Amino acid sequence: MATNRRPAVDLACSLKARPLRIESWRRVQGSATVTKSLNEICAWIDATALSQAIQVTNWVVPTVQTIHILAIAVVVSSVLMIDLRLIGLFWADRPLNQVSSRFLPLVWWPLLVLLATGAIMIIAEPARSLKNPAFQLKMSVLLAALVVTGLFQYLQRRNAAFGDLRSGSRAAAAAVAIVSILLWSAIVFAGRWIAYYA
């Protein structure tokens, strides 16, 4: 006598697979919702009077991009000077607090310029920026780079000998410097690639 019963193993496997399918479907729906929301945000920004004014004024975007690039050059070169000092390749004969007091203001203050110019570029072309994987990567790496820069300041304030070339343990200072160089380099490359993903 033939039965239509499914074997217990198959039934158990299908019951286990069902939550995975539901979870995968929820992820797809969540991703579609985020994409839809991002499209709506981009459309809303694009329709604002400020965005329209920037789009019809030919000189605004090139000028703002030039200022943005100069500001990032100031920030990255200043970070590089501090990082090279931490490694011992630049101004090794000077105290670290003297080097950091000279260059750290050139890291934090130009960030305000970068924020302002970046906001103008997003308002001018919201879809080109907000929906761009290179832009999203740049913002994620920027957040990590700022955390590492803040960590350097914290470690320096907590321990006056941090990064001292005469101290025996310099591994932490060199690690912070190398991670910082890699992160800021990635920001520059990701920023350049925004144009190619547009």
The answer, as to whether pTM is greater than 0.75, is yes
Q: Which residue has the higher pLDDT, 90 or 27?
A: 90
Domain ranges of the chain: 6-47, 57-197
Q: How is 58-124 classified by DSSP, letter by letter? A: TTHHHHHHHHHHHHHHHHHHHHHHHHHHHHTSSSTTS-HHHHHHHHTHHHHHHHHHHHHHHHHHHHH
Average pLDDT, integer, range 88-99: 85
Q: Is the pLDDT of residue 25 over 50?
A: no
Q: Which residue has the higher pLDDT, 96 or 183?
A: 183
Q: Which two tokens stand for residue 136?
A: 């999203």
CA separation (Å) from 183 to 119, 171, 176, 186, 187? 22, 18, 11, 5, 6
The answer to whether 106 and 74 are in contact (CB under 8 A) is: yes
> Per-residue confidence at 195, pLDDT binned at 50, 70, 90?
confident
Please give the angle made by the CA atoms of 64, 101 and 161, to the nearest 5 degrees. Answer: 135
Q: Is the pLDDT of residue 128 over 60?
A: yes
The answer for residues whose C-beta is within 8 angstroms of residue 190's C-beta and 6 or more apart is 134, 135, 137, 138, 141
30-71: pLDDT as tens digits: 555 666 788 899 999 999 999 999 999 999 999 999 999 999
**Would you call 107 exposed, middle or buried from its count of C-beta atoms within 10 A (0-12, 13-18, 19+)?**
buried
CA angle 113, 102, 146 (to 5 degrees): 50
